[in-house]
Amino acid sequence: MLNSNEYTDIAQKVDQGIRLTREDGIRLFHCNDIAWLGALADSVRKKKCGDIVYYNVNCHVNLTNICTSHCKFCAFGRDKDDAGAYEMTKEKALSVVEDALHDPNLAGLHVVSGLHPTWSFEDYLGIVKAIHEKYPQLYIKGFTGVEITHFAQISGLSIKEVLTRLKEEAGLQAIAGGGAEILSDRVRNQLCPKKATADQWLEVARTAHLMGIKTNASMLYGHIETIEERVDHLLKLRSLQDETGGFQTFICFPFLPKNTELGQKIKQTSMWDDLRTMAISRLMLDNFMNIKAYWVMLTVPVAQIALGFGANDIDGTIHKETILHDAGATSPTALSEDSIIRIIREAGRIPAACDCNFNILRKFE
Ligand code: SF4
């Protein structure tokens, strides 16, 4: 059993598979023994999911960055007349996919976009449907709980009807994890009052799970939230996962301040905080199989270290990332599959390419 003086009781609980409480989570955020915390999280990872690290050979498609929400932490969203604002036509979206298909291993697409002021649900649906019809071999993971709530609001359809149409007409196989930010009304009212509330985001996930569509979850931390709000966020996800079992992976997103309204006042998180948050997420989310180290936000070196702090998923090749590079991400905009395999192998783990539902496509023992 791993020990760190004051935390023996927590180590014992983890060892015995006893669920950690809110108080345990808050205490762990005050633990300065980062090596102990990482080893504890890593022991859980090893027991729960072995040595495989998942990745996708994928392409990000962001249909538009024009967005009505004006979230204070976002550097991607623009007004229609702003410099750099864009909206893809069907042809443009198809050409982005065609370009990504130069990689013969491309398995699927990650599609997320802004909340466009004049696009209808049919506009979004039509583009993804065209991609799906032309490239049915590619999986489509897409749209966050925020976008799906928006589609329901602008179309008058229920969440279930929106999801049914995306699944049946556009081939949607899984839902992206973004938009959860911090599931607290206090935080959302200050940072993103125009978009889905915490309850609405959770309701999209619940509805999807009941329909058999898997979703993902995230936490954007390192801005105005308190440690208690981080822990409560994890508990809300854990509680829904107890109810439905429909979440696949949890992604820690550190806030990147550059070019955001909030960034004038807030400094970027430290590597220490990123690794601590990763480890605590693994420990608190005892009913999540996968914890993702998203290399775009963490940087490649930190994501690689995070594999020793509870993570077993390193996202994908991406093809060309734009949302976070607008916010000053210093990582590359894409990684080759060979680089991802090397990063995972150096960490002593087994790389496995998977689809958006964690079905293994290729494994490199
Ligand atoms: S985070 Fe999403 S919803 Fe908010 S402004 Fe950016 S693109 Fe729009």
Residue 163: give its domain's CATH number. Answer: 3.20.20.70
Q: What is the pTM of this model?
A: 0.96
pLDDT for residue 354 is more than 80:
yes
Spell out which residues line ligand 1, taking CB within 6 angstroms: 67, 69-71, 74, 76-77, 114-115, 146, 192, 195
Give me ligand 1 centre to Cα 78, in Å: 9
Per-residue model confidence as pLDDT tens digits over 222-279:
999 999 999 999 999 999 999 999 999 999 999 999 989 998 889 999 999 999 999 9
The secondary structure of 19-34, three-state, reads CCCHHHHHHHCCCCCH
pLDDT for residue 1 is more than 60:
no
User: In the prediction, which pLDDT does 7 show?
Assistant: 94
Site to substitute for ligand 1 among 188, 190, 195, most atoms within 8 A of C-beta: 195
Share the mean pLDDT of the chain.
Answer: 96
- CA-nearest of 117, 128, 138 to 63 is 128
Give CA–CA dist 101/108, Å, rounded: 10
Atom of ligand 1 nearest to the CA of 75: 6
Per-residue model confidence as pLDDT tens digits over 210-230:
999 999 999 999 999 999 999
Residues 6+ apart with CB under 8 A from 67: 74, 76, 77, 78, 114, 115, 116
Give me ligand 1 centre to Cα 66, in Å: 9
Give CA–CA dist 363/42, Å, rounded: 21
Q: Say how far residue 354 (Cα) sits from the centre of its chain.
A: 16
Per-residue model confidence as pLDDT tens digits over 170-185:
999 999 999 999 999 9
Pairing of strands 214-221, 360-363: unpaired
Q: How confident is the model at residue 161 (pLDDT cuts 50, 70, 90)?
A: very high
Give CA–CA dist 27/338, Å, rounded: 39
Which element (helix H / strand E) includes 248?
strand 247-254
Number of domains into which the chain is organized: 1
Give me ligand 1 centre to Cα 270, in Å: 24
Pairing of strands 139-142, 108-111: parallel
Give me ligand 1 centre to Cα 113, in Å: 8
**Of residues 326 and 306, more confidently modeled:** 306
Q: How confident is the model at residue 49 (pLDDT cuts 50, 70, 90)?
A: very high
Give CA–CA dist 91/74, Å, rounded: 27
Is residue 128 within 8 Å of residue 111, measured between CB atoms? Answer: yes
Ligand 1, atom 3: closest residue by C-alpha: 69
pLDDT for residue 347 is more than 60:
yes
Atom of ligand 1 nearest to the CA of 73: 1
User: In the prediction, which pLDDT does 303 show?
Assistant: 97
Per-residue model confidence as pLDDT tens digits over 121-160:
999 999 999 999 999 999 999 999 999 999 999 999 999 9
Give me ligand 1 centre to Cα 62, in Å: 12
Site to substitute for ligand 1 among 60, 62, 67, 262, most atoms within 8 A of C-beta: 67
Ligand 1, atom 4: closest residue by C-alpha: 71
Give me ligand 1 centre to Cα 74, in Å: 6
pLDDT for residue 2 is more than 80:
no
Give me ligand 1 centre to Cα 176, in Å: 14
* Domain range for 240: 5-363
Q: Give the type of residue at 358.
A: F
Give CA–CA dist 353/14, Å, rounded: 30
Give me ligand 1 centre to Cα 85, in Å: 13
The percentage of residues in the chain with a pLDDT greater than 70, rounded to a whole number, is: 99
